[in-house]
């Protein structure tokens, strides 16, 4: 056998061994599946499936796109199926990817140098994180001509110099608030967008009750990420509110029940008294002797 043939055979044998080893590694350490980013207000968690057995674990490596990969010390040879990377993704304006490696459990060695892994989709914090609902307070001026909403910027999972940042700190002038409002008991809606946290509305009818909802708006994100979560609904009070607006349905129902119960008691007592009076009169008549002629 000449040198060229021996070299070819050695190369084929090496390829066969690599394929066998790869198959063995895949059998011993199943790849992670459904690797997904979940992020709200920059609290970013990488999740995947399935739960590992006692024979293998998961390690997470992440990196900015095009940069060297790093390990998160809290997600090394772990039995968990999620990894909180909020504090690791320090530059919010770039994009990241992550790999979930299937490896031996902590303390167990292996002859393999390459372990099965699954890569995540690309994740860009500034563009992909979901924004939770804001809180706000409502104030109607004494002359009923102006309604003001005071919106509180939601907090994020990001800290800087010991201070927890708000979405206003992160997005700056990109952040607006979309106010959706309607007349109470009506379905017709109007919208007002504000770049300020203090939203003043002066086109409302005096004395009428209006209901409001607020959500964050970032126009230059892709359409499905432009709007944050809708806030709870707050309503102003009109000058002559209906009984349904003053009292809840439960209170009204309870009051009606008590009134009906009292009426029923009065009727029952009246009927019993009448029957007893009739019996008394009847006995008195039967006890009177007949007059003789």
The two domains 24-128 and 135-246 share their CATH topology (first three levels equal): yes
Element of type H or E holding 21: helix 3-28
Can you give the pLDDT of all 293 residues of the chain as single tens digits? 555 555 555 554 454 454 444 444 445 789 999 999 999 999 999 999 999 988 899 999 999 988 889 988 899 999 999 999 999 999 999 999 999 999 998 878 777 778 899 999 999 999 999 999 999 999 998 888 899 999 999 999 999 999 999 999 999 999 999 999 999 888 889 999 999 999 999 988 888 899 999 999 999 999 999 999 999 999 988 654 555 555 667 778 888 989 998 898 899 888 888 878 777 777 766 665 555 54
Q: What is the pLDDT of residue 22?
A: 41
49: CB partners within 8 A, 6+ apart: 32, 33, 34, 81
3-state secondary structure of 74: helix
The CATH fold of domain 24-128: Immunoglobulin-like (2.60.40)
Q: What is the pLDDT of residue 280?
A: 76
- Do 98 and 65 contact (CB within 8 A), yes or no? no
Task: Please report, for the chain, the start and end positions of each structural domain, with discontinuous segments joined by +.
Answer: 24-128, 135-246
CATH node for 135-246: 2.60.40.10
pTM of the model: 0.69
Encoded tokens for 53: 């057995």
Distance between CA 115 and CA 97 in Å, rounded? 18
- Do 80 and 58 contact (CB within 8 A), yes or no? yes
Q: What is the pLDDT of residue 288?
A: 58
Radius of gyration over every alpha carbon of the chain, rounded to an integer in angstroms: 37
- Do 95 and 69 contact (CB within 8 A), yes or no? no
Write down how long the chain is: 293
Q: Residue 144, Cα to own-chain centre: how many angstroms?
A: 35
Q: What is the pLDDT of residue 154?
A: 97
35: CB partners within 8 A, 6+ apart: 46, 47, 48, 98, 100, 118, 119, 120, 121
* DSSP letter for each residue of 38-53: EEETTEEEEEEE----
Q: What is the pLDDT of residue 238?
A: 60
Q: What is the pLDDT of residue 230?
A: 97
3-state secondary structure of 161: coil
Q: What is the pLDDT of residue 26?
A: 45
């Amino acid at each position: 056998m000449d040198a060229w043939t021996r070299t070819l055979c050695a190369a084929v044998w090496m390829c066969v061994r690599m394929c066998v080893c790869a198959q063995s590694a895949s059998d011993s350490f199943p790849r992670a599946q459904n690797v997904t980013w979940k992020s709200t207000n920059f609290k970013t968690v990488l999740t995947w499936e399935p739960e590992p057995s006692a024979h293998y674990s998961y390690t997470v490596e992440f990196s900015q796109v095009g940069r060297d990969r790093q390990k998160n010390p809290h997600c090394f040879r772990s039995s968990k199926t999620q990894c909180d990377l909020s504090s690791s993704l320090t530059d919010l304006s770039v994009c990241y990817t992550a790999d979930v490696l299937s490896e031996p459990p902590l303390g167990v060695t292996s002859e393999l140098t390459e372990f099965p892994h699954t890569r995540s989709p690309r994740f860009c914090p500034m563009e992909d994180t979901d924004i939770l609902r804001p809180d706000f307070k409502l104030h109607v001026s004494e002359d009923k001509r102006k309604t003001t909403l005071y919106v509180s910027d939601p907090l994020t999972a990001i800290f800087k110099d010991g201070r927890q940042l708000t979405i206003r700190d992160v997005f700056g002038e990109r952040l607006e608030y979309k106010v959706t409002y309607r007349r109470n008991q009506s379905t017709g809606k109007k919208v007002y967008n504000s770049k300020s946290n203090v939203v003043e509305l002066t086109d409302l009818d005096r004395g009428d009750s209006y209901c409001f909802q607020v959500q964050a708006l970032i126009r230059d994100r892709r359409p499905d990420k432009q709007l944050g979560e809708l806030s709870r609904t707050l309503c102003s009070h009109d000058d002559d509110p209906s009984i349904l607006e003053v009292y809840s349905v439960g209170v009204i129902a309870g009051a009606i029940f008590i009134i009906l119960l009292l009426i029923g008691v009065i009727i029952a007592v009246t009927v019993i008294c009448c029957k007893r009076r009739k019996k008394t009169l009847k006995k008195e008549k039967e006890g009177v002797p007949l007059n003789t002629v």
